[in-house]
A = this chain, B = another copy of it.
Amino acid sequence: MTRSDPAAELTREVLDRVGATPDPRLRALLDAAVRHLHAFAGEVGLTPDEWLAGIRFLTAVGQTSDAQRQEFILLSDTLGVSSLVETIAHPAAGVATEATVLGPFYVPGAPWRAFGDSIAILDPSGVPASVRGRVCGPSGAGLAGAVLDVWQCASNGLYDVQDPDQPRGNMRGRFRADDDGRFSFRTTRPVSYQIPSDGPVGALLRASGRHAWRAAHIHVIVSADGHLPVTTHLFDSADSYLDSDAVFGVRESLVKEFVPQTDGSMLVEHEFVLRAA
C-alpha cells in the first residue's frame, strides 16, 4: 500500500493522539510543539545521523546541569528563547521600562540594605560606581516604597554563587525607594564576563563561530504596590559586547552611560517606569 504523503499522515496521527490531552493548555502546547518539531525535521530533511547527534547533544545538556549550573537555561539563553519569552511576557508599552532575561544567577532573599549603601562587600579591584534614580508609574508620579532587588558579578566576572572566595550576598542587595520613589545605591562598575563555556552549549557556540561574552550589566527586579514588577538590566554604554551579547539580553533603552566623577568613581542615573497592575 502506498500513500500520497506518509510524513504528513504521520504528523496528523501524532496531532490526533496529543489532541486527547485533558488539560486544554497542555494540549495547546503539545499540539504546537509537535507541529513545529515535525515542520523543522521536514524542512531540513533531518537525517537519522543528525537526529542521533541531536539526541546526544540534548542528553549532554541535561547531564551537565546540576544544583549550581543549569545548562538548558544556558542553551535557551544562547538561542534567544529566554529573551523572547521575556519579551512576550512584558511587551514594550510606551514609556514602561523594558524587561530582559533573568539569567541563572538570581538568588531570592538578597540582604536588605539602606538607601545609598553598597552591595560591593568584597570587590577590591572594582571601580566604585553609584546608581541613582527614580521609580515611577506610567503617569510619571514617583512610587513611594518601590523595591529594587539588585545583583551583579564582581570585577573578576564571577557571581558570589560561582566563587568560593566571595561571601554569600556579595554584590547583591534589596533597596527601598523613598517617598518620592527615589533610590540610590553603590556598587562597582560591572564588567563583561563569559557564560560557562566548558559544556555542550560552549561547544555549540564555538561550532557557530560565536563568543560567550555578556555585555557588562547590573541586574535589577523593580517592584511596587499596584504595579507590574519588571526584571531588567542596566547595561554600560562603553561595553564592547552590546551588539553581540551571548544571550541576546541587550535592549537599547537599557544602555546607560557611566559618567566619571571627580573622585574617580562613576555615576549612572536611570528612571524605572512600571506599568499599573
Flag A59-96 by CB within 8 Å of B: 1 or 0 each.
11111010000101100100111111111110110100
| Partner-binding segment picked from A46-54, A113-121, A130-138, A177-185 | A46-54
Q: Mark A34-49, 1 if CB is under 8 A from B, else 0.
A: 1011111111111110
Check if B29 sits within 8 Å of A79, measured CB to CB. Answer: no
Check B59–A60 contact: CB distance below 8 A: no
Partner of A76, one of B7, B23, B55: B55
Bound form: Cα–Cα A18–B42 in Å: 20
Of B14, B62, B253, the contact of A63 (CB 8 Å cutoff): B62
Main secondary structure of the interface of A (DSSP, over half): helix
Taking CB atoms, residues of chain B closer than 8 Å to A7 are 84, 87-88
A26 at the interface (CB under 8 A from B): yes
Stretch of A140-148, A202-210, A267-275 lying at the B interface: A202-210
Q: A139 at interface (Cβ–Cβ under 8 A)?
A: no
Residues of chain B within 8 A of A107, CB atoms compared = none
User: Please, how many angstroms separate the alpha-carbon atoms of A79 and B33 in the complex?
Assistant: 9
Tell whether, in the assembled complex, residue B248 and residue A13 are in contact, meaning their CB atoms are under 8 Å apart. Answer: yes
Nearest CB of chain B from residue A69's CB, rounded to whole Å: 11
Contact call A32/B10, Cβ cutoff below 8 A: no
In the assembled complex, A11 has its CB within 8 A of some CB on chain B: yes
How distant is the Cα of A11 from the Cα of B159 in the complex, in angstroms?
A: 29
Interfacial chain B residues near A36, Cβ < 8 Å: 36-37, 39-40, 43
| Known A59-B70, A62-B59; contact A14-B87, beta-carbon cutoff 8 A | no
Inter-chain contact A18/B208, CB cutoff 8 Å: yes
User: Is A45 touching B88 in the complex (CB atoms < 8 A)?
Assistant: yes
> What residues of B have a CB within 8 angstroms of the CB of A87 in the complex?
6-7, 10
In chain A, positions 1-34 with a C-beta closer than 8 Å to chain B are 1-3, 6-7, 10-11, 13-14, 17-18, 20-23, 26, 28-30, 32-34
For the complex formed, measure the closest distance between the CB of A184 and the CB atoms of chain B, giving whole angstroms: 25
Q: What residues of chain B lie closer than 8 Å to A91, measured between beta carbons?
A: 6
Q: A14-B80, A252-B1 are in contact. Are A62 and B58 (CB under 8 A)?
A: yes
Q: A18-B208, A61-B62, A88-B45 are in contact. Are A79 and B37 (CB under 8 A)?
A: yes
- Residue A244 is within 8 A (CB to CB) of chain B in the complex: yes
Residue of B nearest to A61 (CB): B62
Least CB separation from A244: chain B residue: B17
Contact (Cβ within 8 A) B43 A80 = no
Contact A17 B89 (CB under 8 A): no
Identify 5 new A-B residue pairs, CB closer than 8 A, beyond the known A14-B80, A17-B248, A48-B89: A11-B80, A20-B208, A34-B79, A59-B65, A63-B63
